[in-house]
Amino acid sequence: MAVLLAILAGIGSFFIYSFWQVPELLGNLGLFIAQIVMFLFALVAVFSYKGKRFSKMYFLDNTHVFTIRFLICLISLLGSGSILVVMALFILGN
Protein backbone atom coordinates (compact mmCIF):
# COMPACT_ATOMS: atom_id res chain seq x y z
CA MET A 1 0.00 0.00 0.00
CA ALA A 2 2.85 2.37 0.79
CA VAL A 3 4.45 1.78 -2.61
CA LEU A 4 1.17 2.61 -4.36
CA LEU A 5 0.87 5.81 -2.32
CA ALA A 6 4.45 6.73 -3.22
CA ILE A 7 3.81 6.12 -6.93
CA LEU A 8 0.67 8.28 -6.81
CA ALA A 9 2.56 11.03 -4.96
CA GLY A 10 5.37 10.93 -7.52
CA ILE A 11 3.00 11.09 -10.48
CA GLY A 12 1.02 13.85 -8.78
CA SER A 13 4.18 15.86 -8.15
CA PHE A 14 5.19 15.47 -11.79
CA PHE A 15 1.83 16.78 -13.02
CA ILE A 16 1.84 19.63 -10.52
CA TYR A 17 5.29 20.67 -11.71
CA SER A 18 4.07 20.43 -15.31
CA PHE A 19 1.09 22.69 -14.53
CA TRP A 20 3.46 25.08 -12.73
CA GLN A 21 4.59 26.25 -16.18
CA VAL A 22 0.98 27.41 -16.88
CA PRO A 23 -0.06 29.16 -13.64
CA GLU A 24 -3.34 30.48 -15.05
CA LEU A 25 -5.03 27.13 -14.42
CA LEU A 26 -4.96 27.04 -10.60
CA GLY A 27 -2.59 29.80 -9.57
CA ASN A 28 0.83 29.40 -8.04
CA LEU A 29 -0.41 29.27 -4.45
CA GLY A 30 -2.93 26.53 -5.23
CA LEU A 31 -0.29 24.43 -6.94
CA PHE A 32 2.10 25.03 -4.03
CA ILE A 33 -0.49 23.77 -1.54
CA ALA A 34 -1.17 20.73 -3.74
CA GLN A 35 2.58 20.04 -3.82
CA ILE A 36 2.72 20.18 -0.03
CA VAL A 37 -0.03 17.54 0.05
CA MET A 38 1.91 15.34 -2.42
CA PHE A 39 5.05 15.70 -0.28
CA LEU A 40 3.10 14.64 2.80
CA PHE A 41 1.74 11.61 0.92
CA ALA A 42 5.30 10.60 0.00
CA LEU A 43 6.44 11.14 3.58
CA VAL A 44 3.63 8.94 4.89
CA ALA A 45 4.56 6.30 2.31
CA VAL A 46 8.17 6.18 3.48
CA PHE A 47 7.29 5.92 7.16
CA SER A 48 4.42 3.46 6.69
CA TYR A 49 6.47 1.06 4.54
CA LYS A 50 6.50 -2.28 6.37
CA GLY A 51 8.64 -4.40 4.02
CA LYS A 52 12.37 -4.97 3.97
CA ARG A 53 14.36 -1.81 3.45
CA PHE A 54 17.69 -3.40 2.62
CA SER A 55 18.52 -6.45 0.56
CA LYS A 56 21.13 -9.04 1.43
CA MET A 57 24.75 -8.04 1.53
CA TYR A 58 26.25 -8.50 -1.92
CA PHE A 59 29.76 -7.22 -1.37
CA LEU A 60 32.46 -8.13 1.08
CA ASP A 61 32.70 -4.64 2.54
CA ASN A 62 29.30 -4.73 4.33
CA THR A 63 27.57 -2.67 1.65
CA HIS A 64 23.79 -3.01 1.63
CA VAL A 65 21.47 -1.75 -1.09
CA PHE A 66 17.84 -0.66 -0.83
CA THR A 67 15.10 -2.95 -2.07
CA ILE A 68 13.27 -1.79 -5.19
CA ARG A 69 10.00 -1.15 -3.36
CA PHE A 70 11.60 0.99 -0.67
CA LEU A 71 13.67 2.78 -3.32
CA ILE A 72 10.45 3.77 -5.11
CA CYS A 73 9.16 5.29 -1.88
CA LEU A 74 12.44 7.08 -1.23
CA ILE A 75 12.79 8.49 -4.75
CA SER A 76 9.20 9.72 -4.60
CA LEU A 77 9.99 11.53 -1.34
CA LEU A 78 13.19 13.07 -2.72
CA GLY A 79 11.49 14.13 -5.96
CA SER A 80 8.49 15.64 -4.21
CA GLY A 81 10.74 17.41 -1.74
CA SER A 82 12.97 18.89 -4.41
CA ILE A 83 9.96 20.14 -6.39
CA LEU A 84 8.57 21.64 -3.18
CA VAL A 85 11.87 23.45 -2.51
CA VAL A 86 11.96 24.83 -6.07
CA MET A 87 8.38 26.07 -5.76
CA ALA A 88 9.06 27.64 -2.36
CA LEU A 89 12.12 29.44 -3.69
CA PHE A 90 10.11 30.73 -6.65
CA ILE A 91 7.27 31.99 -4.44
CA LEU A 92 9.63 33.59 -1.91
CA GLY A 93 11.67 35.16 -4.68
CA ASN A 94 8.71 37.07 -6.13
Higher-scoring residue by pLDDT: 57, 33: 33
| Choice among 6-10, 39-43, 52-56, 70-74 with the minimum mean pLDDT | 52-56
Across the range 68-82, mean pLDDT stands at 92
For the chain, give every domain's residue range.
2-93
Q: What is the pTM of this model?
A: 0.83
- pLDDT, position 59: 66
Mean of the per-residue pLDDT values for the chain?
A: 86
User: Taking a C-beta distance cutoff of 8 angstroms, is the pair 51, 45 a contact?
Assistant: no
